[in-house]
Amino acid sequence: MEELRNLEDVHAVLGLLRSRGILAASPDPCSDRFLADLVLFLVKPCRQLDLDRKCRLINENMSKIKDALMEEASVVLHGQEDCGKLENASSIFCDKMNLAGAAPIISFQNEVEHKFLQSEPGNETVIGLDAMQRANSTLEDFCRSYFMFHEMDVNRPQSVFKYLPMLFFVESYIYQLDNFNEKIVNESIDGRVISPFQSEGIETSWIDGGFIYKFKTEPFKPLMLLLEYNGLLTDRIKEELKSGEEYWSLERKLCSALKNKQDVSPEDVMKAIHLKSFDYRVLNLLLYQLRGKGVNDLHMDFLSTSEFLVEVSDDLFDYEDDVLENSFNILRMFVRIYGASAAPAMLAKCIGEAEEKYDCLLKALEPQLSAHYQRRCKEATEEGGKTGGHPLGTWSIPPLIVDEELYRSSVLNGE
């Protein structure tokens, strides 16, 4: 984590230097980094020396420090071989600088990234095959449903593959974290938290403490660092990633309450269902940034409403599985809050309100875009085996499960 903290400090100082007009208008990455490192060095505590005394020492002695002396000092400190490595590393570092953000672009060839990602167990930005496979269907749906809002043709490979690497990486990263969260939500019989890696047969003795703490407190930090290095991190993307953290926190809280037969808050439930599609919003905002375009708020509002309806529809379809797996599901929550008799009516009320908003925003879209999106919705519902008058299909409430423990026991025992 030390490398990460150092890079964060450098970024903070670079921002300060830019705000004061100290850095050149035309970015010089190596010079900018040197000045940032110099500032960090000057503010670092050094016994009784204050900042004024440090600056005076530099002014008084800089002319005495010749190249030969610096060379000799390098040899004494590192040896000739290490000195050469340092010079080479410095050259590579400067070549890798991102001119937009004056920060190194993270790549698998970047030694700084490798050291950061491998700095301690559980801190690696590792994307498993399972996460990529789960992300694949989401990416397909995103391309088919959202590209049209960017005037992009999903049937043109150039449109898809131009931005696919970053979109795929981000969605896979989110799915990997979602997998971790699911494992944390689900507990084994003796109450221990199941590690995300147990199914892979990986040693997990270090995960129960530090890893889970880091996941709960700063899951998106490496991803935000990567996006920032590539000039893609915006305040709105940060907000949506925060929404993802909040959703996972609410999911853990609500599912724990259900399993322990505790009350749940209607406000928490509605907040969670609205936050649940945060990954689509991250991808959408990221695509705006990748294309260098401004965000269309009407499109974002419309798609957010559509996402809510899709999430509710998915929850109804996955209801029994979500009960078995103790996953967040709006119908599960409504049964707990309102009881089995009132839950369907309360959910229908929420759906009706969302449909009204959806229809209103749909009319505000450009006619061609509106028609295109409705065709896409029809395709999606037919592919999912749903039919009906509404673009998202018919609404069918499954048989309610009042005693979830009994239901799980019956299924597990094969009854």
For 243-271, how does the pLDDT look when each residue is reduced to its tens digit (9 = 90+)?
999 999 999 999 999 999 999 999 999 99
pLDDT score for 55: 82
pLDDT score for 199: 36
> pLDDT higher for 36 or 250?
250
pLDDT score for 31: 82
Q: Name the pLDDT band for 81 (thresholds 50, 70, 90).
A: very low
pLDDT score for 387: 45
Model's pTM, two decimal places?
0.67
> pLDDT higher for 202 or 151?
151
pLDDT score for 29: 74
How far apart are alpha carbons 219 and 184 in whole angstroms?
13
pLDDT score for 179: 87
Q: Name the pLDDT band for 11 (thresholds 50, 70, 90).
A: confident
Q: Answer yes or no: is pLDDT of 91 > 50.
A: no
Average pLDDT score over residue span 128-151: 94
pLDDT score for 127: 80
pLDDT score for 120: 40
C-alpha distances in Å from residue 137, one per residue of 47, 78, 142, 363: 58, 51, 9, 29
- In the chain, pLDDT over 70 holds for what percent of residues? 72
Q: Which of 124-138, 168-182, 261-275 has the highest mean predicted lDDT (pLDDT)?
A: 261-275
Average pLDDT score over residue span 41-51: 81
How far apart are alpha carbons 273 and 333 in whole angstroms?
10
C-alpha distances in Å from residue 229, one per residue of 100, 168, 222, 301: 9, 17, 11, 29
Q: Answer yes or no: is pLDDT of 322 > 80.
A: yes
The encoded tokens of residue 84 equal 């050469």
Q: Answer yes or no: is pLDDT of 383 > 50.
A: yes
**Residue carrying structure tokens 């490192």:** 37
Average pLDDT score over residue span 64-81: 56
Q: Name the pLDDT band for 66 (thresholds 50, 70, 90).
A: low
Q: Answer yes or no: is pLDDT of 283 > 70.
A: yes
Reported as a single tens digit per residue, the pLDDT across 185-194 is: 875 333 444 3
> pLDDT higher for 106 or 237?
237
* Mean pLDDT rounded to a whole number for the chain: 79
Average pLDDT score over residue span 62-66: 69
Q: Name the pLDDT band for 328 (thresholds 50, 70, 90).
A: very high
> pLDDT higher for 59 or 300?
300
pLDDT score for 310: 95
Residues 6+ apart with CB under 8 A from 105: 96, 97, 98, 229, 230
Say which amino acid occupies 313.
S
pLDDT score for 249: 94
Reported as a single tens digit per residue, the pLDDT across 212-232 is: 555 667 889 889 988 998 899
